[in-house]
Amino acid sequence: DADVTQTPRNRITKTGKRIMLECSQTKGHDRMYWYRQDPGLGLRLIYYSFDVKDINKGEISDGYSVSRQAQAKFSLSLESAIPNQTALYFCATSAEGAQGYTFGSGTRLTVV
Amino acid sequence: DQQVKQNSPSLSVQEGRISILNCDYTNSMFDYFLWYKKYPAEGPTFLISISSIKDKNEDGRFTVFLNKSAKHLSLHIVPSQPGDSAVYFCAASSIQGAQKLVFGQGTRLTINP
């Protein structure tokens, strides 16, 4: 099994719909992150959590919310999806003090 | 405000030659730098890193060079192999930034036979 698992892998949804992307990890890491990748823009941080009771906004949090249900689970929600949220979304984890992340395989989201 | 910049969206190199990928940063507080490699339909995977107290780190065919005065780092791959074809992301972090990674835009490397 993968260390960081994202579901679904692909999703097409309609404008205005609520959608949740899920992430679970078996690394035992406290820190979890959600990034989105857009062509020409690289990876941009949406939200991050340093432990179960800690949630922080990243550089592009508008239109998104998150929930840290457990140490191993961190979900990202789009309350009312819009087309410019079409992107590749990545979840990542890291240990405190660690210098790098472990990424999931990504969720390709298309909002029509 | 792009704190980490990769100004070359793509690079094409012949197999066996050297590939040089470049990255510039603006935040002088960054103290750790990483390169990630990404294949299609996969998440980024860690490739190599360097601390700001060093100016070079080598791992097999991969070498990262850091020039702090120029706020510039580069990744050298030699010799380049077809399996190196991927998107490469430069990333940086700082203690002040709680070690969150800030990524560049990525460079798509294509190795031609």
> Is B43 in CB contact (< 8 Å) with chain A?
yes
Residue of B24, B99, B102 to mutate, interface with A, max A Cβ within 10 Å: B99
Q: What angle do CA A48, A20, A85 make, to 5 degrees?
A: 75
Q: Which amino acid is at A93?
A: T
DSSP letters, A67-109, are EEEETTEEEEEESS--GGG-EEEEEEEE-TT-S--EE---EEE
Which chain A residue is nearest to residue B90, measuring alpha carbons?
A42
Alpha-carbon distance B49 to nearest alpha carbon in chain A (angstroms): 9
As a whole number, mean pLDDT of residues A78-106 equals 92
- Partner residue facing B44 (CB), from A50, A97, A103: A103
Interface-testing mutation among B3, B101, B107, B108, with chain A (most A C-beta atoms within 10 A): B101
Q: Name the pLDDT band for A36 (thresholds 50, 70, 90).
A: very high
% of chain B at pLDDT higher than 70: 100
Mean pLDDT of A78-88: 96
With 80 as the cut, is the pLDDT of residue A85 above it? yes
Contacts of B4 in chain A (CB under 8 A): 42
Bond into B79 cis (ω within 30): yes
Q: What is the mean pLDDT of residues A57-80?
A: 96
Q: A99 and B104 in contact by Cβ < 8 A?
A: no
Mean pLDDT of A40-62: 94
Model confidence pLDDT, tens digit, residues B23-61: 999 999 999 999 999 999 899 999 999 999 999 999 999
In this predicted structure, what is the pLDDT of residue A1? Answer: 65
Contact A99 B106 (CB under 8 A): no
pLDDT at A98 over 80: no
pLDDT at position B96, please?
Answer: 75
B103 touches chain A (CB under 8 A): yes
- Per-residue pLDDT for B1 more than 80? no
| pLDDT(A73) > 90 | yes
Q: For residues A5 and A23, is the Cβ–Cβ distance under 8 A?
A: yes
User: Which pair of structure tokens corresponds to residue A64?
Assistant: 């998104």
